[in-house]
Amino acid sequence: MTLQLNQALKGSLTLTARGRLAIDDVADLYENDDYLARRKAQTAYEQERPAYWTTATYHDQRACQLQIVVHEMPLPRALKFAYKLGDYIAALDRLIPLNEQAAIAMTVQYAEYGVWRDVEELLARRYARRRS
């Protein structure tokens, strides 16, 4: 199912359909579907706000919490909320941007911590499974 998003983006699907395919693809790729996270990401995607997924499974409570709260507050605040005094770079490494808005927010946040990531590199996480 992972190739569907790339094909869909070239077609004339609605924003909602593209969002669903994007989420279906990453949930399938990372084997970590979650109803609440799916609903939050879908809503953000449909409203053209930053939308995220995670590489984590339900065993990583902080990463899964970040996946939810990042849709409720700005990324810097969500990181501090979910990871308190934790490793924010590792937390960012667990996120998958579902759209360009999210990738841009992540590049800015990485830069705050002295790490360079570009938008294309981050968006590639949607297609290539990373170790979690």
pLDDT in tens, 76-120: 999 999 998 789 999 999 999 999 999 999 999 999 999 999 999
Amino acid, res. 31:
E
Question: What pTM does this model have?
Answer: 0.83
pLDDT in tens, 2-25: 445 555 455 556 767 887 888 888
pLDDT tops 70 at residue 26? yes
Which residues lie closer than 8 Å to 47 by C-beta, 6 or more apart? Answer: none
Segments making up each domain of the chain, as ranges: 3-126
Q: Select from 83, 85, 80, 44 the least CA-distant residue to 64.
A: 83
Using CA atoms of 72, 44, 66, 70 in order, give the dihedral in degrees to the nearest 10: -50
Strand, helix or coil for residue 28: helix
